Amino acid sequence: MMVVFSNRLVSIDTKRFVSDVLSASGKVTDIDDEDLMDAVTAVSGSGPAYIFHFIEALTVAAEKAGLPAKTARLLAMQTVYGAASLAAESGEEPGVLRQQVTSPNGTTAAALAVLMGEGRLTKLLTEAVEAARLRSIELGK
């Protein structure tokens, strides 16, 4: 995923050309405010590490639940891969997909009560992204 910023001096034709060239390597989106690049860095630039850590943590949790290490790692990776693929391909909002795979009073609902209770995961990720954004600003000076 690439994010492009162009100031008002860049022509529409040039913007299209750049977008066409970059899209050969993946998806491209643009932003209207260059100051948002620090947020882009915090989410997309640092984001893979967040996901890798999530896989690590899910693997540890799976091992503590009794699964062999190799199986735990494979299940964690494939679960993240499958969920991300479904989210990318379905066109549905992630919250809708989450609701679709959560049976009322089921195992997923029990786990989500822990992750979502008091905004835990959202709060944690918001703090992490803000720390990365602020560090990006510092590094840009």
Q: Looking at the predicted structure, is the pLDDT value of residue 50 above 90? A: yes
Rounded Cα gap, residues 133 and 77, in angstroms: 27
4 burial (CB, 10 Å; 0-12 / 13-18 / 19+) is: middle
Length of the chain: 141
Q: Looking at the predicted structure, is the pLDDT value of residue 6 above 90? A: no
What pLDDT does residue 8 have?
87
Instruction: Count CA within 13 A, CB hemisphere, residue 119.
Output: 6
Residue 94, both tokens = 């992630």
What pLDDT does residue 118 have?
92
What pLDDT does residue 141 have?
87
- Residues 6 or more apart whose Cβ sits within 8 Å of residue 71: 62
The proportion of the chain whose per-residue pLDDT surpasses 70, expressed as a percent, equals 100
DSSP 63-110: HHTT--HHHHHHHHHHHHHHHHHHHHHH---HHHHHHHT--TTSHHHH
Mean pLDDT in the chain? 95
What pLDDT does residue 103 have?
97
pLDDT in tens, 61-94: 999 999 999 999 999 999 999 999 999 999 999 9
Rounded Cα gap, residues 134 and 121, in angstroms: 20
What pLDDT does residue 85 have?
97
Q: 45-139, what's its fold? A: ProC C-terminal domain-like fold (1.10.3730)
Q: What ranges do the domains of the chain cover?
A: 2-32, 45-139
As a whole number, mean pLDDT of residues 103-113 equals 97
